[in-house]
Structure 1
Amino acid sequence: MYGEVISTERLSSHLVRVVLGGPGLDGYVHGEDADQYVNCFFLPDGAPYAVPFEDDEVRALPREQRPFPRRITVRSWDAGRGELTLDIAAHGDIGYAGRWASHARPGDRLQFRGPAGGYRPHADADSYLLVGDESALPAIAACAEAVPAGRPVVAVVEVEDADGEVALSSPGELEVRWVHRARQSGAPEDLLAEAVAALPRPVGVVSAFVHGEAEATRAVRRVLLREGIVEEARLSCSPYWRRGMDDEAWRAVKAAWTREVAAEPVG
C-alpha cells in the first residue's frame, strides 16, 4: 500500500505533518487503537526502483539499496476524503524518515504496511497519563483525543525548547506539562522521570502511555510501577529509539533490551 503526498506542514521545529492520498490507499482500514502506526519504507539515495515496488524485487538487492523500514504514527485517517495524516519527527537530515518528511513535495510517494497498534486509553480508568518526547508526540496527541470526555488527562512531553511545542486537545480535562531539554542540566534520560515524579499523585485507576527514548521510558516506568501509580496491565511502555545509537543499531538490540526491562523488578 502507498500514498501520494498531498501537502506538508511544519508543525514545530522538529515535527512535520505529511498528508497522503491517492488510489494507493484504497483498502486502507484504520484500527481501534489510539497509537496506530504504519511501517513505512524509505528509499536510499540512488535506489534503482520507485514506489510502488514488490517485496521480492528489493529483497534480491544489496542491503544498501533496500528500503529502510520505520514505524510512523498515524495522526489521523479521514475515510471520507481518503487521506492519511502522518506527523513525523524531523531533526534536519538525521534519520531517513525525518529527512524524507522535510523534503517531501506533493506527488511524492511513500509505501507502507499496516496499520497496527497496541494501546487505547482504558475506558474504565479514572485518569490518564501520557508521557514521551518528540518521537511520541503524535501518538500522545492521538491518545489525548481518545480519552473519555470529562476525565483528567496529564501529558508530560519533552522537547528541545518552546519552539518544539504543539497544540494538544482532548475531550478530557487536559493538562500539558512541557519539559524543555535546553533549560535542564541533569542527565537527559532522567528529565521525564523527574517531571512525572513531581506530579501530584493521581487518585483512582490510572491508564498510562509512556513512549520515546529507551532509557527515558525505562526511568519513567520505574517511577510509575515502584510507586504504585499505575498497574503494569494498564501501562503501555515502549522505546522508539535509544540515545547514542542510529536506527539500524537500535533495531538490532531492541528486542533483547525490551525483554530486559520487562524482567526488571519493580518493587
Structure 2
Amino acid sequence: MGLIENLVKKVLEKGTIEEKIQLSESVYRLRIKSEYIKHVEFVPGHFLRLGVGIGQDETSLKDKVRSYSVWDLDRKDGILDLAIATHSGGVGARWVESCEAGDQVHFRWKKGNFLLDTSADSYLMIGDLSALSHFHVLKRNLPKGKQVQSLIYSPKVEELFADVDGTKPFDFYQMPENPIKEIKAKLKGLVSGMQGRKMVYLAGDSRVCVALNSYFRQEPNWETKQIKTKPFWNPGKKGLE
C-alpha cells in the first residue's frame, strides 16, 4: 500500500462490516458499525464516502472512494446500512462482492443537497435501482399524511428490493435502461393525481435525470425548488457519485 493511501486512511473514519446480505442478483446490503456513527448528525438523504479500492495498486486513487446513500442508521448502536448494486461492474461492485463480515472499512460523512424536504404536500419519486435505498429512507421519514407517488424501474423488476422493514412502498416497473420515452408516457397521469404543493425527486441514470428535469421545468412549469435531482451514475464514465 502506497504512502498516499496510508495518509488517506488516517484522515478517514474507521468502521467494521458487521453483516453482508445479498438482497437480489446484483444488490448487497452492508451493515457497518463504528463509534463515529453514534455521534454523527444525520438527515435522511446523507451519503457515506466509502473507501472501496484501498490496497489495489491497479486502481487509481480517485476511483477508490465511492458515495453511497445511507439507507438506515441507528446512533444508539453505532450502525448504518448501505445498499450497493453491482450491475455497473466498477471498482465498488467488485469490492462489495469480495468483502466479508469482519473487514475494516474507511469512510467519511457526506451531507450533500439531495435531502429530505418536508415542505410539500405531495411527492413524486422517479429513479432506477441505484436510487432505491435513497428513496426508501426519504419515504420512511416523511411525516404522516404526505402523498407519495412513484415510478421506480429496472430491466429486471425482481432486482428492486424492499425497505429495511420489509415493506415495499413504491410502484415498481420493468423498463429498459434509459427509458425516457416510457417514463414520460406515464407522467401526465402521475402528476394529475398530486394535490397541494408538489415536489419531484429524480435520481439514478444521469440521462434520465437531465431529460426529466427539463420536462418538469417546461411542461408543468414547476419552479426550481420543486425539482430535486441527483444523477447517481453516468454510463461510460467513472467517478460520478
Q: What interval of TM-score do these two structures reach, taking the shorter chain for normalisation?
A: 0.7 to 0.9
Conserved in 1, the CA contact under 8 Å of 2:203 and 2:231? yes
How far has the Cα of 1:166 moved from its partner? Answer: 1.8
Conserved in 1, the CA contact under 8 Å of 2:149 and 2:190? no
User: Are residue 105 (structure 1) and residue 100 (structure 2) matched?
Assistant: yes
Equivalenced residues, count = 226
Conserved in 2, the CA contact under 8 Å of 1:76 and 1:86? yes
- For 1:162-186, what per-residue CA distance to the aligned partner results, in whole angstroms no more than 9, with x for missing partners? 311222499xxx962222125x9xx
- Report the Cα distance in structure 2 between the residues aligned to 1:169 and 1:63, rounded to whole angstroms: 32
User: Are residue 133 (structure 1) and residue 124 (structure 2) matched?
Assistant: no
Shift in CA distance, 65/156, structure 1 to aligned 2, threshold 3 Å: closer
Pairing of 1:1-267 with structure 2 (within 5 A): 1-23=13-35, 25=36, 28-32=39-43, 34-43=44-53, 46-47=56-57, 64=60, 68-91=64-87, 94-168=89-163, 176-181=170-175, 188-201=179-192, 202-228=194-220, 230-243=222-235, 245-248=236-239
- Report the Cα distance in structure 2 between the residues aligned to 1:119 and 1:235, rounded to whole angstroms: 10
Q: Which amino acid aligns with 1:36?
A: H
- Report the Cα distance in structure 1 between the residues aligned to 2:163 and 2:74, rounded to whole angstroms: 19
Conserved in 2, the CA contact under 8 Å of 1:205 and 1:230? no
How far has the Cα of 1:39 moved from its partner? Answer: 1.3
Conserved in 1, the CA contact under 8 Å of 2:129 and 2:160? no
TM norm structure 2: 0.81
TM norm structure 1: 0.74
- Report the Cα distance in structure 2 between the residues aligned to 1:232 and 1:65, rounded to whole angstroms: 35
- Report the Cα distance in structure 2 between the residues aligned to 1:105 and 1:124, rounded to whole angstroms: 41
Identity of aligned residues (%): 20
How far has the Cα of 1:78 moved from its partner? Answer: 0.6
Conserved in 2, the CA contact under 8 Å of 1:10 and 1:17? yes
Q: Which amino acid aligns with 1:196?
A: L
How far has the Cα of 1:197 moved from its partner? Answer: 3.8
Q: Which amino acid aligns with 1:207?
A: M
SS at match of 1:246: coil
SS at match of 2:15: strand
Conserved in 1, the CA contact under 8 Å of 2:125 and 2:151? yes
Give the structure 2 partner of residue 265 of structure 1: none
Q: Which amino acid aligns with 1:20?
A: I
Conserved in 1, the CA contact under 8 Å of 2:63 and 2:91? no
How far has the Cα of 1:66 moved from its partner? Answer: 6.6
What runs of 5+ residues in structure 2 fail to find an aligned partner? 1-12
Q: Which amino acid aligns with 2:171?
A: R
SS at match of 2:150: strand
- Report the Cα distance in structure 1 between the residues aligned to 2:202 and 2:226, rounded to whole angstroms: 11
Conserved in 2, the CA contact under 8 Å of 1:19 and 1:86? yes
Conserved in 1, the CA contact under 8 Å of 2:53 and 2:59? no
What runs of 5+ residues in structure 1 fail to find an aligned partner? 48-61, 252-267
SS at match of 2:82: strand
